[in-house]
Chain A
Amino acid sequence: MELILTTAGSYPRIGDAPELQRHRQAYAQRERGEIGEEAFRKVEDEATAEAIREQIEAGIDLVTDGQIRWYDPYSHLARGLEGIEINGLLRLFDTNCYFRQPVVKGRVRRKGPILLREYEFARSVSSRPVKPVLTGPYTLARGSILGGGYGSVRALASAYTEVLAEEVSGLSRAGAPLIQLDEPAILHHPEDLNLLEEALVVLARARGTARLALHTSFGDVAPLYRDLQALPVDVLGLDFTYSPKLPALIADAGSQKVLALGVIDARNTKLETAERVFPILDTVLPALKASQAYLTPSCGLEFLPRDRARQKLETLKRLRDEYLGGRS
């Protein structure tokens, strides 16, 4: 069994040491009008390169750009679209973080590629392959305020699907080997599974040579696990921190898909041990059809302080190596 290490999205953009505060300072300077957009983008580039370097140094095989440029999982994409305004703050699921809610005012259209330049930059500073991460159309629609002629979550999800299909297609043509779609909202609205499926069918058609990964977090995936197996994606990313029953469920149901096992808690500082992680791997891995699986934090690492995020990745690497070493 090949166990590939990957991150699940965001990475902390600043650390506690003064030299790691550059991004925060530049952000404030830009808000005060002391530096321009171009100077700020340069700082974002540097912070992105650092986030990638830390992931690689920690031993991650497939990195992300850390989503350093994302204000939050919703408004970053929404800002790249026509027909949408950005509203006030709302709590992001069960976290202590907030996102700005998109308000749909008119026809949703892409102004141009949203993530392509970011992906290309990340790849240019990374010695390892880079995985683009997008919030999926269903979750975007669930988190938006309907309007602009879109009268239902289905209608809006369908509009977002069209524009994100262009994104997926562009990222695939640019060489992304795997594209991750985050759809946490489905865990809270299992009744909308058909909406998610409709969206994924379109995105799967647009994926070209890239593989598609569906990642869910911020809730218990166990009740939906069997349904997710039927969706047209190549990889399923699962958060193991919510449900003690998930490993046994997978052992029982098996998996037709490659799994990304979120066995490292990206929401809490406590570092995982072999006693905690190995039993999950022992239970899950024999049930998998594929000869590879990904090991990953349960979600983006931005919920942790920077030094602890890095330690989590180092822990992931150490546990993977020990696990494979003990079994070869």
Chain B
Amino acid sequence: MSRQKLKRLGLDLPLLPTSTVGSFPKTPELAAARTKYARKQITKRELEALEKKATEFWIRTQEEIGLDVLVDGEQYRGDMVAHFAEIMAGFQTGGLVRSYGNRYYHKPVIVGEVKWPGPMTVSWWQWTQALTDKPVKGMLTGPYTVMDWSFNDYYPDRKSACLALAREIRKEVEALIEAGAKIIQIDEPAISVRQEEFPFAIEAMHLTVDGLPAYFITHACYGAFETIYPDMLDLPVDNLDLAISNSALDLLKIFEKDPFTKDLSLGVLDVHSHRIEAPAEIGARIMRGVRVLPPDRIWVDPDCGLKTRTVEESRGKLEAMLVAVRRIREDLALTP
């Protein structure tokens, strides 16, 4: 099982390792600075200094809360696809399209051969990892999602665009590993949108990670489970991160029919609600997983990135999550 893989990688994590999905809210100081930067009132260097300050704030906060596997909080990122599209060759910033209501965004356009431009996330990862003794996850967006959330003017079809992206994103995975990253999360929130394309989404993940020595996690989005289980077990990663906080999904019933073969990250906090869940409520969500899988294969985290919550809400929610996890760890230690 993957516990052995973690050990081989030199990672000794407690039972029910706790982590987060990736993003934390921008600190108020950084949010103000980003607006100023957009208006060209401060320099790139001034902005970067504040991004680092905010990243350090989140590392300390995660340590204080007691999380086991940390993230850099994505203080320097806007959108999870546009961030990479802006750096990689082959993309152009597209025109505005509406997402809902009065919200618009610049959807990237693939206009030429996509190319890895050299390390994109490595220096941030190194800088962040140097701040802490806890492992920090490398964070990437997967090839299928980058393809699905971009227009494609260049490749003949969606599949060839996706596979081309996979070959380039693999180079970033290699660079992260070379720099020392042991846990790498490759997010694929779009992976369940077109079931008929799932085979090449899996092929793309093979191209991205096969043979590379790291513990891989993939975060999918709410609804993915119902749509593509058990096919999603074919994703060549160690850990699937699934939102269960808002779903009445009967894991037991699903796993009885098709046994879950990977480690499971249980997304137990509802990141779209302001409410701080009670530890008992969170504990009950964790137990839904613990009842159906050996506890040494379960991780615990929120159901998505926390960037839409406030700093205080994020902290409150995660503290409650840790209270719940510690109680269950104690209970599990007592029961032989």
Contacts and interface: CB of A to CB of B under 8 A. Distances in A.
A155 B109 CA distance: 43
Contact of A24 (B100, B104, B223): B104
Contact of A96 (B107, B153, B223, B272): B107
A129 interface: no
A230 to B, nearest CB: 25
A142 interface: no
Interface stretch (A51-59, A132-140, A298-306, A320-328): A298-306
Nearest to B189: A91
Contacts of B154: 270
Contact of B99 (A13, A14, A98): A98
Given A94-B194, A96-B149, A269-B109, A89 B102 contact: no
B102 A28 contact: yes
B95 A97 contact: no
A302 B97 contact: yes
Contact of A71 (B99, B101, B194, B223): B101
Given A269-B153, A270-B153, A12 B97 contact: yes
Contacts of B196: 220
Contacts of A13: 98
B98 A308 contact: no
B193 interface: yes
A71 B151 CA distance: 23
B151 A270 contact: yes
B98 A302 contact: yes
Given A15-B95, A269-B109, A307-B95, A97 B102 contact: no
Contacts of B107: 96, 305
A38 interface: no
Interface in A63-104: 71-72, 88-89, 91, 93-94, 96-100
Contact of A304 (B97, B104, B152): B97
B94 interface: yes
Most chain A CB atoms below 10 A, which of B98, B152, B193: B98
A27 interface: yes
Contacts of B109: 269
B96 interface: yes
A305 B95 contact: yes
In the complex, which range does the number of interface residues on chain A fall in? 20 to 34
A19 interface: no
Contacts of B102: 24, 27-28, 31
A238 B168 CA distance: 36
B99 A305 contact: no
Contact of A14 (B96, B148, B149, B194): B96
A79 B100 CA distance: 16
Contacts of B104: 14, 24
A268 B99 contact: no
A99 B100 contact: yes
A88 B95 CA distance: 27
A16 interface: yes
Given A31-B102, A268-B152, A269-B151, A308 B95 contact: yes
Given A94-B194, A268-B151, A269-B109, A16 B100 contact: no
Given A268-B151, A269-B151, A97 B99 contact: yes
Contacts of A28: 102
Interface in A281-328: 302-308
Contacts of A220: 196
B188 to A, nearest CB: 14
Contacts of A305: 94-97, 107
Contact of B100 (A97, A269, A303): A97
A12 B98 contact: yes
Given A94-B194, A268-B152, A269-B151, A16 B101 contact: no
Nearest to A90: B223
Contacts of A269: 94, 109, 151-153
Given A96-B107, A270-B151, A72 B97 contact: no
A302 B98 CA distance: 7
Most chain A CB atoms below 10 A, which of B148, B149, B151: B151
B200 to A, nearest CB: 15
Contacts of B193: 91, 93-94
Interface string B285-328: 00000000000000000000000000000000000000000000
Given A269-B151, A270-B151, A98 B97 contact: no
A280 to B, nearest CB: 16
A15 B94 CA distance: 11
Given A15-B95, A94-B194, A306-B95, A89 B100 contact: yes
B127 to A, nearest CB: 31
7 contacts: A12-B97, A15-B95, A24-B104, A91-B223, A97-B100, A269-B153, A270-B154
Interface of B: 94-102, 104, 107, 109, 148-149, 151-154, 193-194, 196, 223, 272
Given A12-B97, A96-B97, A268-B151, 6 more contacts: A16-B95, A72-B100, A89-B100, A270-B154, A304-B95, A305-B97
